[in-house]
Amino acid sequence: MITRAGWGLAAASALVYAAGAPLGYGQAAVLAVTGLAAVGAGALWTLRGARLEVRREVTPVKVARGEPAVAVLHVRNAGRWRHSGLVARDTCRDTTVTVDVPSLARRSARTVSYRLPTRRRGRTQVGPLLLDRGDPFGLARRSIAYGRADVLLVRPRTVPLTPLHSGRRRHLDGLASRSAPAGASSFNGLREYVIGDELRHVHWRSTARTGTLMVKELTDVNLPDTVVVLDTRASSYEGDDAFELAVDVAASAACAVARDRFPVRVLTGDGELLHAKGGPGEDEEVLDRLTLVERSDRAEPPRHALRQAGAGGALVLVSGDHAALADAAALRRRFDQVLFVRVGAPAADGGPRAAGVTVIEAADLGELAAAWPR
């Protein structure tokens, strides 16, 4: 492909010939032919076959928003001739990253690396990779695509938070409730055996020490069950940055629970996004799901999501609109603890308050961590 410089030289050569030939200037013809010959030679230079082995790696493939992600490019010259003037062009969403590849002698290899943009959250396609080969004078260029596109997952940022504890009655091991999930039992003490007790609950060590058949007394433990509701209405936020902060807040609250192996549900204006039940690695799934969340004009207000939340446990509602506090306040009696996080610049009057609801104004994640209940 002829570059702008090549077309410019070709046009200038034609103009020189058109202006000088009628006047009998032989030098004009020589200059015109030389210019056109240079453009033709550049085109032939780029058409020459290049045996290149190209491989690109993206590391890491999952990164928090704003953290560095790097593409490592390996280029090997498998041909018999030196190759120079190589330029690699990689695309990452709407951004094109350009990097010069050093000259490659025959049978030699080069490795170059470059940063990928990670400011925007989402599932980002990296590539396809284009390798441009140009002539020494920049008059012609040939682009060849290598390999396939890779996927970079730019996930929400998080800060360490303490899970919100729910429940109304404590025992030796923590919170207790009749509404505890099946199987969430914990040791609460010893007592003498009575007819009807299961033999699998006999504490044989205490029995041998006391000479009396002793059994373990178990109490159901109410695991800190948390519901995180993210307001995804476009009208609730002043811009993209405010919504990205809201996603970061929701991710931080949900991951704090999931990392401690406790149940958490994440709801948005489009319905339930995730129901983690306290298994290993579910905090990673929380981040992966929230990576793909977008705000929308068709999203339902938080009160619709709260209707699916059931009752009990802790509620965290994240929004950029002060009016969403009314939705949390209307259901505060259904939860043991209710937290409303409003993202964005703080209101001049401190914003509205509601009885039974803890309100946090967060302009960034640092303010969230400082105001989070402990």
What pLDDT is stored for residue 186 in this prediction? Answer: 59
Q: Which of 276, 333, 324 is nearest to 300 (CA)?
A: 324
Output phi, psi for 18, to 5 deg: -65, -35
List the strands of the sheet with 69-77, edge to edge: 52-59, 69-77, 109-116
226-371: same fold as 52-155? no
**Are the C-beta atoms of residues 308 and 277 closer than 8 Å to each other?**
no
pLDDT per position in the chain (374 positions), as tens? 777 777 887 888 888 878 877 777 777 787 878 888 887 776 776 666 567 889 999 999 999 999 999 999 999 998 887 877 788 899 887 888 999 888 888 889 999 999 999 988 999 899 888 888 777 677 777 778 887 889 999 999 999 999 886 644 444 444 444 344 444 555 667 888 888 888 888 988 999 999 999 988 765 555 668 999 999 999 999 999 999 999 999 999 999 999 988 889 999 999 899 998 888 889 999 999 999 999 999 999 998 888 877 777 899 999 999 999 998 898 888 888 999 999 988 877 767 888 889 999 999 999 999 999 98
Residue 149: both structure tokens together = 């596109």
Residue 251: both structure tokens together = 């991710």
**Are the C-beta atoms of residues 27 and 33 closer than 8 Å to each other?**
no
What pLDDT is stored for residue 14 in this prediction? Answer: 84
Q: Residue 374 and residue 67: Cα distance in Å, rounded?
A: 28
Give the DSSP per-residue string, 342-359.
Answer: EESSPPTT-----TT-EE
> What is the number of residues in the chain?
374
**Are the C-beta atoms of residues 316 and 339 closer than 8 Å to each other?**
yes
Q: Is 181 helix (H, G, I), strand (E, B) or coil?
A: coil
What pLDDT is stored for residue 172 in this prediction? Answer: 43
CATH topology of domain 226-371: Rossmann fold (3.40.50)
**Are the C-beta atoms of residues 132 and 142 closer than 8 Å to each other?**
yes
What pLDDT is stored for residue 48 in this prediction? Answer: 65
Give CATH superfamily name and number for 52-155.
Immunoglobulins (2.60.40.10)
DSSP 8-state assignment for residue 34? H
What residues does each domain of the chain span? Answer: 4-47, 52-155, 170-220, 226-371
Residue 158: both structure tokens together = 């998080």
Radius of gyration of the chain (CA): 33
Instruction: Give Cα 128 distance to the centre of its chain.
Output: 21
